[in-house]
Structure 1
Amino acid sequence: MIIEKIVGHIDELDANLVAKTHKEKVFLESSDLLKRIQRVKTDHGREIGIRLRDARELVAGDVLYMDEKNIILIEVLPDDVIIIEPRTLNEMGTIAHQLGNRHLPAQFEDDKMIVQYDYLVEELLVELGLPFARENRKVKKAFRHIGHSHG
């Protein structure tokens, strides 16, 4: 089976329909969400080729295939991340500046900054006295490096 477009998102489907269907999941690393072309396997052993026509990233919960009885969807494996919870605007500015200089991609949820685990970042946070926690967490989108040069 080759998937060329995303059918929809699991959260946007009728809850009654979703409850009645058999669900197969494709477990991906968050970095694989950026790939438009890849070969994957569902948790039931079905091989699927993904070759998206549209230039879009995959997102946790994307439905690759759906009929009356079956849904195949994307599930993201947990990432080793650091959750930073600055207490003040000054702390947020300080850590954002420090991590920005390292070109480290970040995601934001509520008042939390989420970055992929890096022991140097952990050391920096301890040195600055900023509150943080390390955990395995499923992210909805991939950590995307933004192309940039200091030319």
Structure 2
Amino acid sequence: MNLIIQTIIGNLQTLKQQQQITTQKVDTVCLQWFEADRRIIRTTTNDGREIAFRLLKEGQRLHHDDVVYLDKQLAIVVQIEPSEVMVLSPQTLAEMARACYEIGNKHTPLFLDGNELLLPFDKPLFEWLQAAGFAPTRQQRQLSEQLRANSAPGVGGSHTHSHSYEFAEHHHH
């Protein structure tokens, strides 16, 4: 069975609550966080079904627990694999704003989980965040809810600019 997935049906928990998923066998397709916004993915489910994602909607992204196939016997569900991440827990709105601004300047993917900011682990950035006073922690987590700028790639041209200025580093002791 070679399935071509073109839409996301819904969230696993929601579909269970609505009793659209009751006795179906649940097969999972495991993806890394960076695969979740690819428009074309060819992969195999845990039970060995070959599937291809062909997501045509602009800005469509796969999330953990997305149901991508559903019939009377089978539900295929996306699982975003945990990866090594940096976790920031800003305590104030001002700290959150400063963190997002500084991270945005580095063009690093940024994810939101409750009141925490998650970023793919990067040693130089981790050390920079420590020096800047953000107290990041290193954890294994799922990166699923990526924050997006208004100028998402492919929508009205790509986001490019250069930073030709330098900042003096401030160290607080």
Counterpart AA for 1:148: T
State how many pairs are aligned: 151
Going from structure 1 to structure 2, the CA distance change for 1:142 and 1:25 (only over 3 Å counts) comes to farther
Is the helix fraction higher in 1 or 2?
Answer: 1
Aligned to 1:41: 44
Q: Is the 8 A contact 1:80 1:136 kept in 2?
A: yes
1:9 pairs with 2:21: no
Instruction: Tell me how far 1:12 sits from its aligned partner.
Output: 2.1
State the percentage of identical aligned residues.
Answer: 27
Going from structure 1 to structure 2, the CA distance change for 1:21 and 1:106 (only over 3 Å counts) comes to same
Counterpart AA for 1:22: K
Question: Alignment partner of 1:40: what SS?
Answer: strand
Moved >4 Å (runs of 4+): 142-146
Alignment of 1:1-151 (within 5 A): 1-15=3-17, 16-55=19-58, 56-142=60-146, 147-150=159-162
Measured against aligned partners, the alpha-carbon deviations of 1:125-151 in whole angstroms (never above 9, x if no partner) come to 221332221111012235768523149
Q: Which runs of 5+ in 1 are unaligned?
A: none
Is the strand fraction higher in 1 or 2?
Answer: 1
Instruction: Tell me how far 1:11 sits from its aligned partner.
Output: 2.4
Going from structure 1 to structure 2, the CA distance change for 1:49 and 1:92 (only over 3 Å counts) comes to closer
Give the aligned CA root-mean-square deviation in angstroms.
2.4
Counterpart AA for 2:8: I
Which structure's relative contact order is higher, taking Cα pairs within 8 Å and 6+ residues apart? 1
Going from structure 1 to structure 2, the CA distance change for 1:96 and 1:141 (only over 3 Å counts) comes to closer
